[in-house]
């Protein structure tokens, strides 16, 4: 049987998972492909670390060039993370006309345009299934399975660490910091966990999904991004009382409603910006299927104009789940090599839209607002007055019984309002003397 040699750069959570999965299922994969996949080289950062990898020590190096430039290595898997050396690894391999598999969404987000251009120039394919949603084969779904659809909406729980934290805060009332440490211990979190909890990792993934769905490269700075640091157990409990669950969502919507409707123009090119690409925590109704996606699981709801609603669910982080996606790419890469299928993985060919992403200020949605206010007569009237002046309607109010004269939480559910208008109005509410802390505002997504 023909042997395809693999060179791995990175032998940590994901690289170790790939080696273990190949050890377990290599013969099965070989019989399915008619090709034998063998890891012949591995690069790590520190050679003297104790590791239990199924690879002889003389195959391991701390110089990634020895892997990438080894003429006997046919396919390179970049599983090290980061955006500097990893960029060199991928560029060097592509320039050598070697197919590259990567799990690195931060790299694609920062340098995707350049790397896909390099892949197109060299004729070598760049595969990235593991870069979004761990074990869920969502890249293949958008690139191949739904190719005949216009994608109308994507709503995804795409960060396992945040979902794990929010789930344990809801189910156990656990403290944010304790749960984050568990997520790190379990191998879900990025080396720099602020990438997870501040929403950047979800933004990297949402940008990749949006680019696939709409055919233009979405730049990270075009994606409005909020994380989950400001979400408290109090908000999670109030949301539950109202019939909602708080989830960090990556959202891509086309034809989004804006205050000026279809006539609104972007200043830059005077044409409509109908695509929303954002990441933020949102209240979603408990009846929506995404509300019951818990722990490190991810799920992505995709609505196509032909297929209708679809849902993809699975483990979004961790060694095994991610290794499964890397193996899928390695299998594709090996078959593409065997059959000489150059450029089988198309870069982001412009096929829709004008590269313009809607500003969040223009977007209209419902909101959950938590205020900390002094429990004394006339306070509600003043808050309602400020909101009414801004044309913002309250759909319901919860105020737990408090102690007269003390600060108590008040929850307002707000009717559809433009983002800029609600932010301005809450700025004015925050200045009222009875309001004792900055208002907390979380969007409500019904995902209809
Ligand atoms: P990790 O556990 O920190 O492993 C990183 C590996 O890369 C380590 O083996 C490290 O070597 C090696 N490395 C770092 N710098 C290197 C260099 N300059 N030269 C050679 N090797 C180097 O990270 P991970 O969790 O496996 O993540 C790897 C990639 O997969 C990242 O892009 C991440 O975003 C992505 N990803 C991770 C998950 C997940 O659940 N963890 C899921 C999907 C995608 P040492 O072992 O010597 O430190
Ligand atoms: N840190 C990422 C997460 C890993 O928690 O989702 C998977 O991409």
Cα–chain-centroid distance for residue 156? 7
User: Regarding beta strands 35-43 and 60-61, do their DSSP bridges make them parallel or antiparallel, or are they unpaired?
Assistant: parallel
**What is the CA(190)–ligand 1 centre distance, in A?**
9
Which pLDDT score, from 0 to 100, does residue 348 have? Answer: 67
Q: Which domain holds residue 416?
A: 363-444
Number of domains forming the structure of the chain: 3
**What are the percentages of helix, strand and coil residues in the chain, rounded to 5?**
40, 25, 35
**What is the CA(268)–ligand 1 centre distance, in A?**
39
Q: Which of 9, 191, 18 is nearest to 92 (CA)?
A: 9
In angstroms, the Cα distances linking 227 to 65, 161, 194, 231, 280 are 36, 11, 9, 9, 6
Does the CA dihedral 116-119-120-126 come out positive or negative?
Answer: negative
Which pLDDT score, from 0 to 100, does residue 362 have? Answer: 80
Residues 275 and 169 in one domain: yes
Residues 326 and 311 in one domain: no
Which pLDDT score, from 0 to 100, does residue 342 have? Answer: 81
Which pLDDT score, from 0 to 100, does residue 264 have? Answer: 43
State the SS3 of 159-209: CHHHHHHHHHHHHHCCCHHHHHHHHHHCCCCCCCCHHHHCCHHHHHHHHHH
Q: Are the C-beta atoms of residues 214 and 257 closer than 8 Å to each other?
A: no
Q: What are phi and psi of 37, to 5 degrees?
A: -95, 120
Q: What is the CATH number of the domain that holds 223?
A: 3.30.360.10
In angstroms, the Cα distances linking 14 to 69, 91, 131, 327 are 22, 21, 11, 11
Given the CA of residue 62, which atom of ligand 1 is nearest to it?
A: 20
For the Cβ of 244 lying below 6 angstroms from any atom of ligand 2, the answer is: no
Residues 18 and 98 in one domain: yes
Q: What is the CATH number of the domain that holds 431?
A: 3.30.70.260
Block mean pLDDT (10 aa), the chain, length 448: 97 97 97 97 96 93 98 98 98 98 97 93 95 97 93 97 97 92 92 95 97 89 95 95 97 74 44 83 98 97 97 95 98 96 72 77 92 90 95 92 80 95 96 95 94
Residues 299 and 410 in one domain: no
Q: Which of 85, 80, 69, 124 is nearest to 102 (CA)?
A: 80
Which pLDDT score, from 0 to 100, does residue 359 have? Answer: 85
Q: Which residues is 249 bridged to in the sheet?
A: 280
Q: Which two tokens stand for residue 295?
A: 């722990």
Residue 380 within any structural domain of the chain: yes
SS3 category, 9: strand
The continuous run of DSSP H or E covering 418 comes out as: strand 407-418
Which pLDDT score, from 0 to 100, does residue 356 have? Answer: 83
How does DSSP assign 22-75, residue by residue? HHHHHHHHHHHHTEEEEEEEEE-S-TTS----SS-GGGEES-HHHHHT-TT--E
Distance CA 17, CA 89 (A): 20
Distance CA 8, CA 67 (A): 7
Residue 15 within any structural domain of the chain: yes
Residues 151 and 260 in one domain: yes
Residue 348 within any structural domain of the chain: no
Q: Show the DSSP H helices in 340-402 as ranges.
A: 379-389
Q: Which of 356, 212, 209, 348 is nearest to 274 (CA)?
A: 356
Q: What are phi and psi of 435, to 5 degrees?
A: -95, 120
For residue 241, with 0-12 CB atoms within 10 Å meaning exposed, 13-18 middle and 19 or more buried, which class applies? exposed
For the Cβ of 81 lying below 6 angstroms from any atom of ligand 1, the answer is: yes
Residues 425 and 327 in one domain: no
Which pLDDT score, from 0 to 100, does residue 403 have? Answer: 67
Q: Which two tokens stand for residue 352?
A: 């829709």
Residues 249 and 371 in one domain: no
For the Cβ of 317 lying below 6 angstroms from any atom of ligand 1, the answer is: yes
Distance CA 293, CA 13 (A): 23
Residues 398 and 436 in one domain: yes
For the Cβ of 159 lying below 6 angstroms from any atom of ligand 2, the answer is: yes
Sheet holding 75-78, edge to edge: 60-61, 35-43, 2-9, 75-78, 100-102, 126-127
Q: Are the C-beta atoms of residues 7 and 15 closer than 8 Å to each other?
A: no
Distance CA 116, CA 91 (A): 10
Q: What is the CATH number of the domain that holds 43?
A: 3.40.50.720
Given the CA of residue 82, which atom of ligand 1 is nearest to it?
A: 32
Residues 107 and 53 in one domain: yes
Residue 354 within any structural domain of the chain: no
Work out the number of other CB atoms within 10 angstroms of the CB of residue 326: 28
58-97, pLDDT tens digit by residue? 999 999 999 999 999 999 999 999 999 999 999 999 999 9
Which pLDDT score, from 0 to 100, does residue 263 have? Answer: 41
**What is the CA(248)–ligand 2 centre distance, in A?**
13
Residue 147 within any structural domain of the chain: yes
Q: What are phi and psi of 232, to 5 degrees?
A: -110, 165
205: annotated active-site residue: yes
For the Cβ of 196 lying below 6 angstroms from any atom of ligand 2, the answer is: yes
**What is the CA(179)–ligand 2 centre distance, in A?**
15
In angstroms, the Cα distances linking 254 to 161, 272, 355 are 27, 11, 12
Which pLDDT score, from 0 to 100, does residue 274 have? Answer: 77
Active-site option among 170, 205, 247, 253: 205
Residues 157 and 265 in one domain: yes
Residues 71 and 171 in one domain: no
Residues 117 and 155 in one domain: no
Q: Are the C-beta atoms of residues 333 and 8 closer than 8 Å to each other?
A: no
Q: What are phi and psi of 36, to 5 degrees?
A: -100, 120
């Amino acid at each position: 049987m023909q042997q395809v040699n693999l060179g791995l750069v990175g032998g940590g959570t994901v690289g170790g998972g790939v080696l273990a999965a190949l050890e377990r299922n290599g013969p099965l994969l070989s019989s399915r492909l008619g090709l034998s996949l063998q890891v012949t080289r591995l690069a790590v950062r520190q050679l003297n670390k104790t590791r239990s990898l199924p690879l002889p020590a003389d195959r391991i190096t701390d110089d990634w060039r020895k892997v990438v430039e080894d003429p006997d290595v046919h396919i390179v898997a970049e599983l090290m993370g980061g955006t500097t050396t990893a960029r060199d690894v991928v560029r060097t391999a592509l320039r050598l006309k070697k197919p590259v598999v990567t799990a690195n969404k931060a790299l694609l987000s920062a340098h995707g345009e350049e790397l896909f251009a390099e892949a197109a120039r060299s004729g070598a394919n760049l595969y990235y299934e593991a870069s979004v949603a761990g074990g869920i084969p969502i890249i293949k779904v958008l690139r191949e399975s739904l190719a005949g659809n216009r994608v109308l909406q994507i709503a995804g729980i795409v960060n396992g660490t945040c979902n794990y934290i929010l789930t344990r805060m809801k189910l156990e009332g656990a403290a944010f910091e304790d749960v984050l440490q568990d997520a790190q211990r379990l191998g879900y979190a990025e080396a720099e966990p602020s990438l997870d909890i501040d929403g950047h990792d979800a933004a990297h993934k949402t940008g990749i999904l949006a680019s696939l769905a709409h055919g233009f490269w979405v730049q990270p700075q075009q994606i409005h991004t909020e994380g989950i640091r400001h979400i408290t157990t109090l908000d999670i409990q109030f949301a539950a009382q109202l019939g909602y669950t708080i989830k960090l969502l990556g959202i891509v919507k086309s034809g989004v409603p804006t205050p000026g409707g279809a006539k609104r123009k972007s200043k830059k090119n005077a044409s409509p910006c109908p695509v929303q690409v954002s990441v933020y925590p949102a209240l979603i109704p408990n009846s929506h299927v995404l509300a019951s996606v818990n722990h490190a699981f991810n799920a992505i709801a995709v609505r196509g104009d032909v297929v209708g609603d679809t849902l993809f669910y699975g483990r979004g982080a961790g060694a095994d789940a991610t290794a499964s996606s890397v193996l899928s790419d390695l299998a594709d890469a090996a078959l593409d090599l065997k059959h000489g299928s150059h450029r089988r993985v198309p870069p982001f060919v412009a096929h829709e839209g004008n590269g313009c992403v809607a500003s969040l200020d223009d977007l209209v949605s419902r909101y959950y607002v938590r205020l900390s206010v002094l429990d004394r007569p006339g306070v509600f009237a003043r808050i309602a007055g400020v909101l009414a002046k801004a044309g913002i309607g309250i759909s319901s109010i919860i105020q737990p019984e408090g102690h007269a004269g003390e600060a108590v939480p008040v929850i307002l559910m707000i009717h559809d309002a433009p983002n800029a208008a609600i932010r301005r109005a809450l700025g004015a509410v925050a200045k009222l003397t009875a309001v004792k802390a900055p208002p907390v505002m979380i969007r409500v997504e019904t995902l209809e």
